[in-house]
Structures are given as structure tokens and as C-alpha cells.
Amino acid sequence: MINVKYVLKRDGRREPFDRRKIEYTCIKLGVPDDVARRVSLLVERRAYDGISTRELLDIVFEELAKVEPIFLEIVDLRSALGRLRSKPDFEVYARILLRSIGFKTKPNLMIKGKCLEYEVDGLAYSNGEVYIVEAKHHSNPHTYTKLEDVMAIFSKYMDIVEGFREGIHTINPAGVIIVCNTKFTEHAIRFAECKGIKLMAWRYPKSRGIEDIIRKGHLYPVSILKNLDNEEMYKLLDSGIILLMDLTKIDPSMSIGIPRCRIIQLKRKAKKVLDYLSSSPEISLRRSPELSL
């Protein structure tokens, strides 16, 4: 008799434990293949029937930390994105992601539509076209962005388009881009695709999701550091230190309300973590989307 262990997914579904998914998760986290394999075996041994994916990820990080102590220093990327504040951090971060894939951006601004004046989270320029940017952030990284959210954004966008047509403003948007730290529901995706709304979200579009953009551009947010408390983190973010990369370049004598010695320590950590995460092979190329935790 084979003893199949089931994993409880966040949406309530159960699926058989699959060691390859653990291996794949490890590889995505930047560890070499042989380490990934070893860790996946150790995790398999500790997994029990009915374990949640959250617990499983904790065990992965624990086991990885035994091989690579750097995993004591960081949280997973998905949680790191959730730690950012919706305003202004994630709006700023969304524009960083857009620039990394070739857009020019402008910060948030107010635009008058036909009916109302709206705040938009940025403008993005590419090939002579301008797009309205909407940053959609959930502090719980497992909250889906719903159809209603996308429909509301579409109404806002259309009203801004009408505002242009009626000569109320001079921005003639070619479309709207929603940058989101979480996933979209299936209905939300179908609606967006049908209306020509561009989505940049967790694992969407496949193999060009924000996690891929972040890994390729080494655009890890400072919130990936585990032992950075919120107060310190907000001081960094408020001073424009959004990325680990920014932190590695920080001048320790900057007066941002964090002691110089702590800044030096954080800078060193950031460098170590960034070097580690950036040294990983080009993961996205050998990625199989169905094999992920």
C-alpha cells in the first residue's frame, strides 16, 4: 500500500505531495540543482498528510537555511511584496518594474475624466504611446484581485478617455496597465484580456509574471530582509531606498533616522543577499509553471 500525503492548498483544494515542486521552488530561490534535490528529500520526510502549503514553505526555508544560512535572512518574495505599503511603496515599485521592461514612467497624478477627477498611480510611455498605470496591492499576498476591481479600473480608464475626447485634458491613453503583487481571478483575467487591459501580476502572464521580472532585473525589494522591522523598513522606503540594490549603494552617513552602525549592517546584509539571489542561473528559461508551490 502506498501512503500518499496530501497537501492542503490555500484555496482549500488538496493535492498529492509532489517532491518535484519542492525541488522547483528551491531552484527558483536560487540554489544549485543538487542542493534543491537534497532539500526536497528532507522536506518530503518532514511533510505529513494534510500539511498546508504555508507550512511546507516554512520547512523549505528551514531546511535551506541549514545548507545556506542566507535563508535565515530573507522571507519569500511573495511575502516581501505583501510587506510593502500599498501607498506609496507599491506604486513606486510598480513604476520601477515598468521601467525595467522598457517603459518610461511618470509618477502618480490627478486626471479629470468626463465625470470625475481621478488619481492614477502613474503614466507609462512606450513606442510613442502612453498608458494609465494602476498599482493594485494586497498586504495578504494570497488575496486575489477580483473581477470587480478590474471592472472599476476599466470604468475609470474609459472615463479618462472620454475626458480626453471632450478636451478636458491632453493625455490620450492607449490603454491601462494594472500592476499587482498577487494573482487575479480567472474572470478578472478574462475580462482584462477581452478589454485589452494589460496585467502584470504574480505569475501572470505565464513566465513573464512580476516574480520573473524581479528575478531577471534583480529588483528585490528591501522588504525581503527578514530581520528588518517595519519601522526601519518604512524609514528606508520613505528615503527612496526601495530595492536591495539601493540599499547596497546607500551612504551610511545619510540621516534617515537609522543609526549609522545599523545602516552599515543592513548594507552588508543586502549585498550578501543580493549577491546570492543574483548568482542563480537563468531560472525562467527552464521553468515549468505547473510545477510551483
Which stretches of the chain bind a second copy, using CB under 8 A? 114-116, 147-149, 151-156, 158-159, 187, 190-191, 194-195
Q: Which helix (H) or strand (E) holds 218?
A: none
CA separation (Å) from 33 to 20, 36, 277, 286?
Answer: 11, 5, 15, 12
| Residues pairing with 5 in the sheet | none
According to DSSP, the β-strands at 175-180 and 198-200 are parallel
Between 146 and 260, CB nearer to a second copy: 146
Three cell numbers, residue 206:
505565464
Between 147 and 256, CB nearer to a second copy: 147
Minimum distance from residue 138 beta carbon to a second copy (Å): 15
Minimum distance from residue 182 beta carbon to a second copy (Å): 17
Which residue from 49, 81, 75 is spatially nearest to 60, judged by alpha carbons?
75
Between 155 and 292, CB nearer to a second copy: 155
- The single-letter code of the amino acid at 29 is L
According to DSSP, the β-strands at 117-120 and 104-106 are unpaired
Minimum distance from residue 147 beta carbon to a second copy (Å): 8
Between 111 and 266, CB nearer to a second copy: 111
According to DSSP, the β-strands at 117-120 and 109-112 are antiparallel
Between 4 and 194, CB nearer to a second copy: 194
Between 33 and 119, CB nearer to a second copy: 119
Q: Which helix (H) or strand (E) holds 104?
A: strand 104-106
CA separation (Å) from 257 to 143, 232, 240, 252?
Answer: 33, 8, 13, 11
Between 67 and 147, CB nearer to a second copy: 147
Minimum distance from residue 116 beta carbon to a second copy (Å): 6
Minimum distance from residue 108 beta carbon to a second copy (Å): 17
Minimum distance from residue 91 beta carbon to a second copy (Å): 17
Between 68 and 134, CB nearer to a second copy: 134
Minimum distance from residue 113 beta carbon to a second copy (Å): 9
Residue with cell 475624466: 113
Minimum distance from residue 203 beta carbon to a second copy (Å): 21
Say which DSSP state 87 is in: I
159-178 as b/e: b if 16+ CB within 10 A: bbbebbeeeeeebebeebbb
CA separation (Å) from 147 to 3, 151, 179, 191, 192?
Answer: 40, 6, 15, 7, 9
| Residues pairing with 90 in the sheet | none
